[in-house]
C-alpha cells in the first residue's frame, strides 16, 4: 500500500470516528489505542467491530470477511465505506442486520415480531 493510500485510509478513519461522535459515541481511530492487526479501525462504539474503507473500489466481501475474522464474539462486524464525492454507507451481513432490525423494531412496537 502506498503512502497516499495509507494517508487516505487514516483520513477515512478520522472522518468515520467523527461521524460516530456526532451521534454521541466516544469514537476514535482504533490504532491510537490498540494497534494490533485485528484491532478495529474505529473504537468507542460498543458492540461493533468497525472496519473503515475509504477507497474508490471496495472489495466488499473481502472487507466484510476481514471484519468478521477480527470481530470479538460479542461484536457485530461492520464495514463503513465511502468513496470520493459519496456519502458514508455501512455494510453488514444479513443475519447481523436482522438482529439489529428486530431489536429496533421490538423497541418501537413493544413486542417481538
Could you report the per-residue pLDDT of 12-31, keeping only the tens digit for each? 999 999 999 999 999 999 87
Q: Domain tally for the chain?
A: 1
β-pair partners for 89: 81
β-pair partners for 73: none
Give residue 60's pLDDT: 96
Check which CATH number belongs to the domain holding 79 and give it. Answer: 3.40.1350.10
Q: How confident is the model at residue 6 (pLDDT cuts 50, 70, 90)?
A: confident
Whether residue 67 contacts residue 60, with contact meaning beta carbons closer than 8 Å, is answered with no
Comparing C-alpha atoms, which of 96, 70, 92, 71 is closest to residue 80?
Answer: 92
Parallel, antiparallel, or unpaired for β 28-29 and 48-53? unpaired
Phi and psi of 76, rounded to 5°?
Answer: -90, 125
Higher pLDDT, 109 or 35: 109
Assign 9 to helix, strand or coil: helix
Positive/negative CA dihedral, 20, 22, 27, 32 = positive
Domain that holds residue 44: 3-109
Amino acid at each position: 500500500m502506498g503512502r497516499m493510500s495509507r494517508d487516505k485510509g487514516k483520513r477515512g478513519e478520522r472522518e468515520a470516528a467523527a461521524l460516530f461522535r456526532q451521534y454521541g459515541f466516544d469514537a476514535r481511530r482504533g490504532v491510537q489505542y490498540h494497534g494490533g492487526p485485528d484491532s478495529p479501525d474505529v473504537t468507542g462504539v460498543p458492540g461493533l467491530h468497525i472496519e473503515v474503507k475509504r477507497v474508490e473500489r471496495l472489495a466488499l466481501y473481502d472487507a466484510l470477511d476481514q471484519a468478521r475474522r477480527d470481530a470479538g464474539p460479542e461484536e457485530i462486524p461492520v464495514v463503513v465505506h465511502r468513496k470520493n464525492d459519496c456519502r458514508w454507507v455501512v455494510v453488514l451481513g444479513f443475519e447481523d442486520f436482522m438482529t439489529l432490525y428486530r431489536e429496533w423494531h421490538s423497541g418501537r412496537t413493544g413486542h417481538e415480531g
